[in-house]
Structure 1
């Protein structure tokens, strides 16, 4: 039960990152924001590792390759694709594309890790994706795609592919690394990759212009959105499997809309409530199916 509560809270923490990211877009570049977010997260995670385990575990060559791949997929590539796509793709449309994550993660987890894939689980995934789509499109899903697929759309799909790779690699890495160790190493390696792009973007010259609100948003993204969110998600993958954890990603766009309503005054609608209901039903079906097959 605890793992499911943590997954729901993680979805809402990640939903709140859309609000923080929107606030950061006024006066801070995408790579600068990503670098500062993961720099803070890395420092927090290193402190946690030293206070709890006396330091980071020593990695062999295979381990180093793994954590660099985690940093490249879940930190660097995901942020690069995501922020590039959001330059031209509306946030709602991007969130619908991101909500396809569970479908591919479930299929690939079944292929590579032997996780069971039943018709009930498939129905649950379809319901939750449909619910997220209805919520974001305000009841008119077709309107999201009437313009066809643009280069920005493909960039968001690149982010989806990056997250899928990150989730599946994380499952493999936790055979010999704890969630905190895996996340810490991936944040460190991803931060190193982001640094030259942040400098090129002008982070150093613009630093004096950043406001208190900018740093509060970075703190939210780094501590809540990254340290706590990533840790809970990894723990869930290790406990209940990749596909069962991934379906909770569908709560993220719904949580983003609720966060926008609460913090930014964006309106709620009947379609949002209907979407939330379908997401909850989908999550229930997916996890009850997995429990039956366990």
Structure 2
């Protein structure tokens, strides 16, 4: 019974990151937010991993090349793009684009790993793509052909592509989840430090910046990862993944509560994205795989 509560809390905390992050980028740079977020979260995450998972740290550290790559992708590049995007687009639009990530990961797994999906899966991918386009064009789909799309939304597309790569690579990492996350955060702190020094990054000096950073470090960075990993001990990853759809709902509720109305295009696009993700998760008989070629070796993706 605790697992569903943990999953709801994790998605609620991650949803708040969109809204608080958008407010924070008004006075802080994406680099400042990213660097201080992971710097403040590094030691607590290491302690959580040590006491909850009790990993063999020597065995974990032997996977440092993969952890370094994952840190650069998921902790640094994705987070920088996310906060950069929030300087140009709304938290609601950012969350709607992020909601298409599960469908995008399916497409990337098909292309990169030779995995297969069902006809319903392809329908879900198409529906999710159409929903994202509806949000990006604000209901005017003809804008796609003129490439008249907000810079922030283009950055969010880049962010979810990077997160897709992060997810696919991370699937093959046989390291306890919280320990892997903690070490990636430590690596991000170390690798971002030279850039932070070069850009004269300073600790927030106003109450608003301090509270924003405190929320980001405590809830999306610590609380969400803790609750998510605790839930995964008793919940299949596919079932847990469906809870990520709540991020759109929670972001919409927070946005409306703060006085920003939703547009019809956002509501319609959000429903299409969520529907598309649910369709991609339906199990069925996959289409037969094509004969193996030089780019799709037999057995790849198992």
Structure number, greater radius of gyration? 2
Q: Is the contact made by 1:101 and 1:164 (CA closer than 8 Å) also made in structure 2?
A: yes
Structure 2 unaligned residues grouped into runs of 5+ = 287-302
| CA distance 1:18–1:208, change in 2 (3 Å) | closer
Q: Where does 1:225-264 land on structure 2 (aligned, <5 Å)?
A: 225-230=220-225, 232=228, 239-240=236-237, 251-262=246-257, 264=258
Q: Is the contact made by 1:86 and 1:94 (CA closer than 8 Å) also made in structure 2?
A: yes
Indicate the residue corresponding to 1:41 in structure 2: 41
2:201 equivalent to 1:203: yes
Q: Is the contact made by 2:118 and 2:285 (CA closer than 8 Å) also made in structure 1?
A: no
Indicate the residue corresponding to 1:290 in structure 2: 283
Indicate the residue corresponding to 1:265 in structure 2: 259
Indicate the residue corresponding to 2:191 in structure 1: 193
Indicate the residue corresponding to 2:293 in structure 1: none
Residue 128 (structure 1) shift: 4.1
Structure 1 unaligned residues grouped into runs of 5+ = none
| CA distance 1:11–1:140, change in 2 (3 Å) | farther
| CA distance 1:181–1:60, change in 2 (3 Å) | closer
Q: Where does 1:78-97 land on structure 2 (aligned, <5 Å)?
A: 78-88=78-88, 97=97
What secondary structure is seen at the aligned counterpart in 2 of 1:58? helix
| CA distance 1:284–1:94, change in 2 (3 Å) | closer
Q: Is the contact made by 2:25 and 2:86 (CA closer than 8 Å) also made in structure 1?
A: no
What secondary structure is seen at the aligned counterpart in 2 of 1:209? coil
Indicate the residue corresponding to 2:290 in structure 1: none
- State which of 221, 227, 243 in structure 1 corresponds to 2:216: 221
Q: Where does 1:80-159 land on structure 2 (aligned, <5 Å)?
A: 80-88=80-88, 97-110=97-110, 116-131=116-131, 134=134, 139-142=139-142, 146-148=146-148, 155-159=155-159
Residue 191 (structure 1) shift: 1.8
Partners of 2:125 and 2:51 lie apart in 1 by 39
Residue 197 (structure 1) shift: 2.3
Q: Is the contact made by 2:248 and 2:270 (CA closer than 8 Å) also made in structure 1?
A: no
Partners of 2:26 and 2:12 lie apart in 1 by 23
What secondary structure is seen at the aligned counterpart in 2 of 1:265? coil
Residue 90 (structure 1) shift: 5.9
Residue 265 (structure 1) shift: 1.3
Indicate the residue corresponding to 1:178 in structure 2: 176
* TM superposition score normalised by structure 2: 0.74
Partners of 1:145 and 1:260 lie apart in 2 by 30
Aligned residues: 284
